[in-house]
Amino acid sequence: MFCEVCGKKEATVHLTEIINDKVTKLNLCEDCAKDKGTEMEEHFGLNDLLAGLADLGSTTEPELLEKVKCPSCGFTYQDFKKVGRLGCGDCYETFKKQLGTLLKRIHGADRHTGKIPLMVGKTVKDTRNLQDLKARMEKAIQTEDFEEAARLRDKVKEIEKKGKEPA
C-alpha cells in the first residue's frame, strides 16, 4: 500500500482521525505522517493517537537527535546510551521521544498512576484526568465506538480550554 498523501512511499502509519464527528482513516508514509502529526496536534491535541509514531523521532533523524543536549545539564542521548543513567529531571523532557519508547518497553506502560506530590497536586490531577480521557478515547477508536470517541474528544477540548484561561 502506498502513502495516500505523497503516493510515492510505502504507507507504514495508519491513522484514524475524527473530524466533525466523521471518521477518516489515513494510510501514510512516515514522513507524511509526521507532517500530519504536527497538523493534528495543532488541531486536536491528538498526537497520541498516531499509531507507531512514538519511534519516529529516533528512526528518522537519529544523527540529529544524538547531538541534542539537555539545556539544564548538558547531557546527550549518547551519554545516556553509554552510562544507562540520565543527567537530570529535565533530560526526560529533552529526550521524551526516545524515553517514551524505552519506558514503555521497561515498564509495559508509559504513564505514572501512583503518588502525586503535594506541591503539584491540583495541576497534576487535571493532567491525569486529561491523560485518562485521551487513553479512553484511543480505546474507543480502536473498538470503533466513534460516538463515545467524539464525546470524549469534546470533554478533552473543554478541559484544555479551561486550562488556558487565566486562573
Partner 1 sequence: MDYKDFINQDTEWLKGTGPSANIVMSSRVRLARNLDKVPFSNWADKGRLEDVLVAVKDAALSTGGLKNALFVRLKDLSEVDRLFLVERHLMSPEHAENVDYKAVVVDPKEIISVMINEEDHLRIQVLLSGSNLRECWKIADSLDTELSKKLAFAYSAKWGYLTACPTNTGTGLRGSVMLHLPALVFTGQIGKILQAIAKLGLNIRGLYGEGTDATGNIFQISNQVAMGITEEETIDNIERISNQVVSREDSTRKTILTKNKEALVDRISRALGTLKSAHIITSSETITLLSAIRLGVDLGIVKTMDRRTVNELFLLTQPAHLQELDGRPLNANERDVKRADLIRSKLK
Q: Which residues bind partner 1 (CB under 8 A)?
A: 72-73, 75, 83-90, 92-93, 99, 102-103, 106-115, 117-120, 123-124, 127-128, 131
The β-bridge partners of 10 are 2
**Closest approach of Zn ion to the CB of residue 6, in Å:** 3
Give the CA angle between residues 105, 132, 16 to the nearest 5°: 75
d(CA 79, CA 114) in angstroms, rounded, equals: 29
* Partner interacting with residue 1 (select from partner 1, Zn ion, none; CB below 5-8 Å by kind): none
Report the site for Zn ion in 33-92 (rule: CB under 5 A): 70, 72-73, 75, 87-88, 90-91
Kindly determine how many residues on this chain lie close enough to bind Zn ion according to the rule CB under 5 A.
Answer: 14
* Nearest in space to 15 (alpha carbons), one of 32, 72, 114, 95: 32
**Closest approach of Zn ion to the CB of residue 79, in Å:** 9
- Residue with cell string 540520565: 86
**Closest approach of partner 1 to the CB of residue 61, in Å:** 21
Whether 75 and 69 have beta carbons less than 8 Å apart is answered as yes
d(CA 149, CA 129) in angstroms, rounded, equals: 16
Nearer to partner 1, 26 or 91 (CB): 91
